[in-house]
Amino acid sequence: MDHDLLTIIILGIVEGVTEFLPVSSTGHLILASELLGYDPERWKVFNIVIQLGAILAIVVLYWRTLLAVVLGLVRRQPESIRFTRNLLLAFFPAVVIGLALHKQIEALLGRADVVAVALIIGGFAILAVEKLAKKASIRGVADMPARTAIGVGFIQCLAMIPGVSRSGATILGALSLGVERRTAAEFSFFLAIPTMLGATTLELWKNRSVLDAHDLGSIGIGFGVAFIVALVVVRAFVSMIGRYGFAPFAWYRIIAGSAALLWLFAK
């Protein structure tokens, strides 16, 4: 198999598996590049854009919910308006802070050591929130108060540090603010749609002059792999958190981050 094609498939699988789990897809892509000797600069745009494949999986899996919200907006139904309001309120902080700190964020994207430390700290944070979070009283994205949605949006911005995990930050933020597990996970899924669309559009626009047909072909393959893998993973994830909570992901983060840190120091 062509070396580039193998790289594309591996990165697509990593993205599809990790995008919606609280383990950091960006962090895993950076570590994969470091571990397998890929040039992170060469694959930076690819790694960001293929996230749209995972986002499409959410659209496919939750198309009934999304369609109901769109039709509800047309009919001015209060529940659909609150659903949309909450997504926009949670999305807004990422736009402002992301644009303001774009250069600083980019500088961290090649730092595998930052990823390893963030994985470990995030793992302990998950365990703490699982134990200390107040009793869940919010069940349903439309039932979230505006201040809760804004709070989740600001907490999501921590994921601009690679290794923190966008899904992990939003889920933990929601849990700590009284949102029950399934709703916290689904809000994270829905919030990924505008967040990752925005990040991908910005990255494509910035690199429009250097992208060629080969790059777009590679992105298309990675997109497809990420989409298929994410379809399977999201279903399993929702089922798993209902039975076991988020602790298994916390321990995975701690073990993976510690192993990565030891490996980086031993290089």
Percent with pLDDT over 70 in the chain: 91
pLDDT value of position 166:
87
Higher pLDDT, 43 or 163: 163
pLDDT value of position 216:
73
Higher pLDDT, 237 or 214: 237
CB-count burial class (<10 Å; 0-12, 13-18, 19+) for 101: middle
Mapped onto helix, strand or coil, the DSSP state of residue 134 is coil
DSSP state for residue 178 in the 8-state scheme:
T
Q: What are phi and psi of 42, to 5 degrees?
A: -65, -35
Phi-psi label, residue 136: left if phi above 0, alpha if psi -120 to 50, beta otherwise: beta
Give the Cα separation of 184 and 172 in Å (integer). Answer: 8
Q: Is pLDDT of 80 > 70?
A: yes
**138, β-bridge pairs:** 179
pLDDT value of position 163:
85
pLDDT value of position 264:
86
pLDDT value of position 40:
61
pLDDT value of position 15:
87
Average pLDDT, the chain: 86
Report CA-CA distances (Å) from 92 to 75, 98, 156, 157: 25, 10, 10, 10
Give the Cα separation of 150 and 231 in Å (integer). Answer: 28
Cβ(144)–Cβ(179) below 8 Å = yes
Residues 6+ apart with CB under 8 A from 212: none
- Using one digit for the tens of pLDDT, what is the confidence trace for 111-134? 788 889 999 999 999 999 888 877
What domain count does the chain have? 1
pLDDT value of position 90:
94
- Using one digit for the tens of pLDDT, what is the confidence trace for 218-232? 888 989 999 999 999
Domain that holds residue 249: 3-266
pLDDT value of position 213:
58
Residue 58: which pLDDT band, with cuts at 50, 70 and 90? very high
Gyration radius of the chain over CA positions? 18
